[in-house]
Amino acid sequence: MDLGFLAQFFVNGLVLGVIYALVAVGFTLFFGVLDVIKFSHGDVLMLGAFTALATYLGLSDIGVAPGVALILVFVAGIAGMAFVGAIVCKFLVLPLRGAPQLNTLLITLMFGTVIRESVRLFYPSGSNPKPFPKLLPDNAFEFGNLTLRLDSCIIVLLGILAIIFTQLFIQKTKFGLAIRAVAQDEETARLMGVNFKTVVLLTFALGSALAAVGGISTGLYYQEINFAMGLMLGLIGFSSAVLGGLGSLYGAIAGGFLFAALQTVGAVWFAVPAYKDVFAFAVVIMLMAWRPTGLLAERNEERV
């Protein structure tokens, strides 16, 4: 098989890996501080993409330059989904802390359905796929059978920068220290003066903001979004987080790239690329049967 052809699949897998890692990190952050699975996460990603699209349409009507529009689109999507994440945490997740975890899983799953169906019903022609604007340079470089798109490189760079920012925020700031303290021992963190509620709200806002980056990046890459896109991306992001070791930030990142790599192998291996998801999930099932705690098992003393 031609090396350029394989390199093309590798580049495509790298873009998907960044997007999956962004979603998986969000799941890990939520689980790290509250031991909850927020199943509306994929739909928040979708809502972030639609928020960005609506922002762009409004900006284009008043003649804002594409470069400025790109920045404002990201700002609107990230800020909006950070707010949604904090609201979900305050009014849906925190009130159920004393209830069985299944209740939290169920209520976030239903909230995700509300988001998805609201976009389908109330966004103009929301049931139809929407073209996403080309806000990134569309230059491409040809290397044999490899076509290296500049927008793909930018998306990978943006995703990696977002992940690095999250890691530095958690490791180098006082708020990050508070997040790690709550994740390690909530009661001791409270006794040391950590504002538990503020830390949890900030964590949910951060995870939801990362989902917005993933949603906007998906729109920029495929140049199309739809109201159901969060279903598969949420499932893949959760699978990636579990595969890497739920509660481990590095595991979530590794799981995201590994899942994308499995999809890439499946697309190369099978004559029908649609089988790539079946192959990826089948391998993940076998890996989870082998390592139920994930490839990078969570350490009790360092969950985030």
Domain layout of the chain by residue ranges:
3-136+145-290
pLDDT of 1 higher than 70: no
Cβ–Cβ contacts within 10 Å for residue 289, how many?
8
pLDDT at 142: 84
Q: How confident is the model at residue 293 (pLDDT cuts 50, 70, 90)?
A: confident
Which CATH number is associated with domain 3-136+145-290? 1.10.3470
* Single-letter residue type at 26: G
pLDDT at 299: 47
pLDDT of 2 higher than 80: no
Whether pTM > 0.85 for this model: the answer is yes
Distance between CA atoms of residues 213 and 49, nearest Å: 8
CA dihedral sign of residues 198, 199, 204, 209: positive
Percentage of the chain modeled with pLDDT above 90: 72
Beta bridge partners of 131: 224
